[in-house]
Structure 1
Amino acid sequence: MKYWLLAAENKTSAYEISRESSPTVEGWDSSLSTITRLGVEEGDAVLLWRRGRAGGVVALGESTSTTPVESGTLNWSLARLMDRDDDGPTPHYVKVRLSFGKLSFAAPVSDQALRASGLDHVVKRSRSATEGRQLLAVDLTDEQWGELVQLVEEAQAPDGMPTAWSIPPGAVVKRSELHDAFGGSSRLTVGASGRTPNALLFLDHSATGELAPRWDGPVLVAPGQSQWMDSISHDNLSALAHRRRGVPLRVFVAQHSECLYLGEFAIEPESPVERWVDTGKRDISSTYSRRPNMVDTRLPLFRLRQLNGVTMPTDRRDPFRNASRISLRLHPAGEQSAATAIRELLTILEDEPATATSLGALDEAQLLATLVQRARRQADLDQLRAAVEDPESSEGDLQRLVERMTWIFGGEFLPGTVRRNLTLRDQLDLALLRPDGTLHGVELKKANIKRLVTGQRSHLIIGTEVNKAVGQAMNYLRELDEKRPQILVDLGIDCRRASMTVVVGHSGFVTADASPEEIDEAIRTFNSYLTRISVTTYDRLIENAQRTIDLTASDQ
Structure 2
Amino acid sequence: MTDEETLKASLRRWIRGSSNPRVLWRDGIGLKARGKSFKSATLSYFGNNPESPSGRELTLVEVPREEFGPGYDFENATTTFKLRDNEIEVLQKFLNGLLADEGHYVRVGDKSVADALADSFIQSGQNDRTLMNIFAAVSKNPELAMMVSRQPEALALSSKITDENHKDVIDRLDEMARRESPAASEKEFQKLVEKNSWIFGGRFIEPIRRRSVTVLDELDVPLTAVDGSLHIVELKRSDINRLFVKHRNHWIVGKDIHEAVSQVENYLFALDSAGDNIRATLNLDVYRAIGTVVVGHLDQCTTDVTREEAYRAMRIYNSHLSRVRVLTYDQLIANARNAMALGVVGAGDAV
Common fold, TM-score beyond 0.5? yes
Shift of 1:335: 7.5
Shift of 1:497: 2.2
2:292: which partner in 1? Answer: 501
Shift of 1:417: 4.1
The question of 1:381 aligning with 2:170 is answered yes
Cα 1:427–1:550 change in 2 (3 A) is same
Alignment of 1:139-178 (within 5 A): none
User: Is 1:439–1:495's contact at 8 Å kept on the other side of the alignment?
Assistant: yes
The question of 1:537 aligning with 2:331 is answered no
Q: C-alpha separation between the residues in 2 aligned to 1:339 and 1:443?
A: 28
Cα 1:461–1:414 change in 2 (3 A) is same
The question of 1:363 aligning with 2:152 is answered yes
The one of 511, 518, 521 aligned to 2:312? 521
The one of 242, 247, 250 aligned to 1:459? 250
Q: C-alpha separation between the residues in 2 aligned to 1:396 and 1:339?
A: 23
User: Is 1:418–1:432's contact at 8 Å kept on the other side of the alignment?
Assistant: no
Cα 1:334–1:446 change in 2 (3 A) is same
Cα 1:545–1:343 change in 2 (3 A) is closer
Q: Secondary structure at the match of 2:205?
A: coil
Q: C-alpha separation between the residues in 2 aligned to 1:451 and 1:529?
A: 21
Alignment of 1:266-281 (within 5 A): none
Alignment of 1:84-99 (within 5 A): none
RMSD: 2.6
The question of 1:470 aligning with 2:247 is answered no
Q: C-alpha separation between the residues in 1 aligned to 2:129 and 2:211?
A: 36
- Whichever residue aligns with residue 351 of structure 1, its letter is K
Shift of 1:390: 0.8
Runs of 4+ aligned structure 1 residues displaced above 4 Å come to: 332-345
Of all paired residues, the percent bearing the same amino acid is 36
The one of 278, 285, 299 aligned to 1:487? 278
1:516-539 per-residue CA deviation (whole Å, 9 max, x = no partner) reads: 121011011000011100000000
User: Is 1:447–1:538's contact at 8 Å kept on the other side of the alignment?
Assistant: yes
Shift of 1:336: 10
Cα 1:495–1:389 change in 2 (3 A) is same
- Whichever residue aligns with residue 273 of structure 2, its letter is E
1:167-205 per-residue CA deviation (whole Å, 9 max, x = no partner) reads: xxxxxxxxxxxxxxxxxxxxxxxxxxxxxxxxxxxxxxx
The question of 1:350 aligning with 2:139 is answered yes
Cα 1:546–1:430 change in 2 (3 A) is same
Q: C-alpha separation between the residues in 1 aligned to 2:166 and 2:208?
A: 17
User: Is 2:240–2:296's contact at 8 Å kept on the other side of the alignment?
Assistant: yes
Q: C-alpha separation between the residues in 1 aligned to 2:252 and 2:125?
A: 54
Q: Secondary structure at the match of 1:414?
A: strand
1:405: which partner in 2? Answer: 196
Q: Secondary structure at the match of 2:222?
A: strand
Q: C-alpha separation between the residues in 2 aligned to 1:337 and 1:433?
A: 32
The question of 1:432 aligning with 2:190 is answered no
2:238: which partner in 1? Answer: 447
Q: C-alpha separation between the residues in 2 aligned to 1:377 and 1:411?
A: 13
Shift of 1:445: 0.6
1:307-347 per-residue CA deviation (whole Å, 9 max, x = no partner) reads: xxxxxxxxxxxxxxxxxxxxxxxxx9998999897566434
User: Is 1:418–1:433's contact at 8 Å kept on the other side of the alignment?
Assistant: no
Greater share of residues in helix: 2
Q: C-alpha separation between the residues in 1 aligned to 2:338 and 2:326?
A: 19
TM-score under structure 1 length normalisation:
0.38
- Whichever residue aligns with residue 363 of structure 1, its letter is P
1:132-159 per-residue CA deviation (whole Å, 9 max, x = no partner) reads: xxxxxxxxxxxxxxxxxxxxxxxxxxxx
User: Is 2:207–2:221's contact at 8 Å kept on the other side of the alignment?
Assistant: no
Shift of 1:429: 0.5
- Whichever residue aligns with residue 394 of structure 1, its letter is S
Shift of 1:490: 1.3
Q: C-alpha separation between the residues in 1 aligned to 2:171 and 2:128?
A: 23
How many residues are aligned here? 222
Q: Secondary structure at the match of 1:552?
A: coil
- Whichever residue aligns with residue 526 of structure 1, its letter is Y
- Whichever residue aligns with residue 389 of structure 1, its letter is R
- Whichever residue aligns with residue 489 of structure 1, its letter is A
Cα 1:513–1:345 change in 2 (3 A) is closer
